[in-house]
Structure formats: structure tokens, C-alpha cells
Amino acid sequence: MNNSQLLNTGIQLTGIVLWGLILKYIIDLDSLGCKCADNWQRKFIEYYIIFSIVISILHIVNFNMYIPPAVLTLYFITAVVFVAIVYQYIQGLKTANCQCSNDVMRDILEITNYLQIGLIVLIIVIAIYIVMSLGSFIENNGNLDTGNLL
């Protein structure tokens, strides 16, 4: 296992543990009968986290797994939707003064969500930079010969 794979595995395992703790919190809200936290957003969050854990495990098992660009795009879009839903969900819990949801895990979910927002913004900025750089490269060279990029 090379350094890149080792780093990726560590990041994926950290994510799995974090998502697992948040998933336990979300499921516990239901077990506790926390009515003010029971809505479609909680269910979406629960299912999305399960999906993310499965994807992380698959990525650990097969580090070089090819993921088609359309699937990556769909995953990115669902991640943006997830972040928006988590933000609305947490704000709703706070606005409703939902005491049964008041837990350190709610704070961790909120912090994780803000980190994801930052990553999404960073990805968008990098994508815009790449597109603009590619456009400039094509404009200056007249074509896109991938042999020149490498």
C-alpha cells in the first residue's frame, strides 16, 4: 500500500467513524421518540449517511475503482442537496427549541456540515479555475491536444 492509498484509507476510515456516530445520533432521535426531530429531513439524512458509508467502504476495498464522471457529478449534486437539507434540519431543531435533539452530536453534525460547505465551495472554485485555464490554453494553442498537457 503506497502513501496515497494509506492516506486515503485513513481519511475514509475517519469519515466512516464520524458518519457512524452521526448516524447513531439520528437513529437515537427516533428511538427516544423525539417528535420535534421527526420529519422527512431526518430520514433523508439517515439514508444519505448510510449511502456515504457504503461508498467509503467500497473505495477502501477497491482504491483504484473507476467511477464514471456522470456518477461523480450525481454524487456531488446529492452532496450539495444533503448539505442544504442538514443546514435546514439543524436550524429547524434550534428554532423549535427541540430539547430532545440537543446533544453534542447535533453540534458535531453542524460543524461537519459547515466543513462540507467549505469543501463544496473549494471544489467549485477549483473547477472554475480549471475551466478558465483550459479555455485560456485552448485559446492560446488553437486546440486541445492532451499530449501537450502532460
pLDDT in tens, 40-99: 999 999 999 999 898 888 888 876 777 788 888 888 899 999 999 999 999 999 999 999
C-beta separation of 56 from 15 below 8 A: yes
Domain range list for the chain: 3-149
Give residue 1's pLDDT band: very low, low, confident or very high (50, 70, 90). low
CA angle 128, 132, 138 (to 5 degrees): 145
C-beta separation of 19 from 79 below 8 A: no
Instruction: Answer whether 0.85 is exceeded by the pTM.
Output: no
> Which position has the grid cell 479555475?
129
| pLDDT of amino acid 146 | 56
Q: How far is CA 108 from the centre of its chain?
A: 14
Quote the CA–CA distance of 18 and 126 in Å, as a whole number.
26
Quote the CA–CA distance of 36 and 26 in Å, as a whole number.
13
| pLDDT of amino acid 147 | 57
Instruction: Give the three cell numbers for residue 96.
Output: 423549535
Q: How many residues does the chain have?
A: 150
